[in-house]
Amino acid sequence: MSLNRLKRHVGSAISRLSWKRFTCPVCNYAGSFRSLRAATGTRAHAQCPQCEGLERHRLQWLVVKELQKELDFAKLRVLHIAPERFIQARLRPLCASYLSADLYAKEVDRREDLTSLSFPDKSFDLVYCSHVLEHIKEDLSAIREVRRVLSPGGVAILPVPFLSDFTVEYQAPNEYEGGHVRAPGLDYVDRYKVCFGNVRLFSSDNFDPRYQLYIYEDRSRWPTPAMPDRRPSAGLRHSDYVPICRAD
């Protein structure tokens, strides 16, 4: 092998290595992320091997950091619905008060139905509810409840898995999707606007690519026998999104 060819080979190898080296904003791990097997095949660079956070968790935590520039978390009353343990462990110490809740999970502070919360109006300054609404048939009731318990100027972080341009409602919960009752599309944001006048959408494109915030999966193969209602979409790399809803 000639010297120039060797240099090109080494340079290409370094480039590939750099592409696979990322930083987790949740736990500050730096290195390769795990690929995961999913219904659509292998999802590349999906999981941090240290905190086990996924693409959506990294994006959401970066959004939390953005909100810290606007909000004094040390004064916030926070309700966290269906909390992931590694997000909960980092969010709880930041807040004036923190309450976790779920309808089924045992390791939470309160057992709550999101469509009928037991809290008085204006009880919280921030509600964080990740990947829950796609499990709830009466999702507008849930969104209204989130709005009800927020104080004036309060903020709701309400991400769902945005899977295409248009939302598809299922006739029954899909057990292969963890009981999803719909495949949300980007038009799902309109449902937040029914209850919130101010909705801001953060995306994977808003942050440094070293955090690896994209979903790598082949959605052109949808629908499948296990996911008969999902719409196909082109491309192997897909942006994720985090809606921020303000109770103005």
User: Omega of the bond prior to 225 within 30 degrees of 0, cis?
Assistant: no
- Output the pTM of the full model: 0.90
Q: Is 50 exceeded by the pLDDT of residue 237?
A: yes
Beta strands in 117-238 (DSSP E): 124-129, 150-157, 168-174, 180-183, 198-203, 215-216, 237-238
- Cβ-in-10-Å burial (0-12, 13-18, 19+) of 234 comes to exposed
The contacts of residue 38 (CB under 8 Å, 6+ apart) are: 217
* pLDDT tens figures, 39-93: 777 899 999 999 999 999 999 999 999 999 999 999 999 999 999 999 999 999 9
In this prediction, what percent of the chain has a pLDDT beyond 90?
A: 88
Q: What is d(CA 181, CA 19) in angstroms, rounded to the nearest whole number?
A: 36
53-246 classified as CATH 3.40.309.10: no
Q: Where are the domains of the chain?
A: 53-246
Which two three-digit tokens encode residue 224?
Answer: 């499948």
Q: The tokens 């309450």 sit on which residue?
A: 99
Q: Which helix (H) or strand (E) holds 41?
A: strand 41-47
**pLDDT confidence tier of residue 20, bands split at 50, 70 and 90:** confident
For residue 19, what pLDDT is reported?
Answer: 57
A 10 A CB-CB count for 37 gives: 9
Confidence of residue 10 (pLDDT cuts 50, 70, 90): very low
